[in-house]
C-alpha cells in the first residue's frame, strides 16, 4: 500500500457484536454510571479486555479545573498498565450516556485518548479493537485507525 493511502478498517454492528464483546460492552455501560460528570452530564464508561482475560473498567472523572479531569478510556488503560503491566490489550469498549440514557449514536475517543491508545499499541506490539457502543449501532475499529498519524517518540525523532 502506498504510504499516502489511508485504510480505515471498521465495521458497523447493528445485529450484534463478535463473541465476547457484548459482555465487554455491558460492562462499559454499567461503569458509565460511576462517572463523576456533574458539569457536562456526559457519563462515559470504558471496559478493557486484557490478553489474560481480565476486564478492567474506568469512567470519566470531571473537575471544575477542566484539564484536571480524565476520560474513561485513559482511566481504564492507565489502571490496566499499572496493575497488569505484562498483559496487552485485546479490546476496549466505550459507552456514553447523557443524563443517564445511553446515546443513540456511538461516541469516539478524544484526541488525547487516541494518542494513549497508540502508545498502548507500541508498548505491547499489537493493535486492538475499539468498540464504540450506541443504542442504534455500535462501531468496531482498530485502535491504530483512530489516529493514523500518531506521535511516536524514538531516538530518531528526538534528534530532529
62 is catalytic: no
The model's pTM is 0.86
Cα distance between residue 47 and residue 34, in whole Å = 13
Find the catalytic residue in 5, 62, 73, 137.
Answer: 73
Cα atoms in the Cβ-side hemisphere of radius 13 Å centred on 74? 16
Residue 58: name the closest of 69, 74, 41 by CA.
Answer: 74
Cα of 2 vs its chain's centroid, Å: 28
Per-residue pLDDT of the chain (160 residues; tens, 9 = 90+): 344 443 444 556 556 667 788 899 999 999 999 999 999 999 999 999 999 999 999 999 999 998 899 999 999 999 999 999 999 999 999 999 998 889 988 999 999 999 999 999 999 999 999 999 988 888 899 999 999 888 777 655 555 5
Amino acid at each position: 500500500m502506498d504510504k499516502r493511502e489511508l485504510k480505515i478498517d471498521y465495521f458497523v454492528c447493528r445485529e450484534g457484536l463478535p463473541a465476547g464483546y457484548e459482555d465487554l460492552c455491558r460492562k462499559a455501560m454499567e461503569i458509565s454510571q460511576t462517572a463523576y460528570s456533574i458539569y457536562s452530564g456526559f457519563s462515559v464508561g470504558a471496559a478493557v479486555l486484557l490478553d489474560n482475560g481480565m476486564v478492567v473498567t474506568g469512567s470519566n472523572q470531571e473537575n471544575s479545573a477542566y484539564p484536571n479531569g480524565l476520560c474513561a478510556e485513559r482511566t481504564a488503560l492507565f489502571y490496566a498498565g499499572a496493575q497488569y503491566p505484562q498483559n496487552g490489550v485485546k479490546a476496549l469498549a466505550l459507552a456514553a450516556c447523557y443524563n443517564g440514557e445511553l446515546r443513540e449514536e456511538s461516541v469516539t475517543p478524544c484526541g488525547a485518548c487516541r494518542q494513549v491508545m497508540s502508545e498502548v499499541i507500541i508498548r505491547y506490539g499489537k493493535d486492538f479493537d475499539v468498540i464504540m457502543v450506541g443504542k442504534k449501532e455500535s462501531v468496531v475499529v482498530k485502535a491504530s485507525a483512530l489516529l493514523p498519524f500518531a506521535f511516536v517518540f524514538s531516538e530518531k525523532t528526538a534528534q530532529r
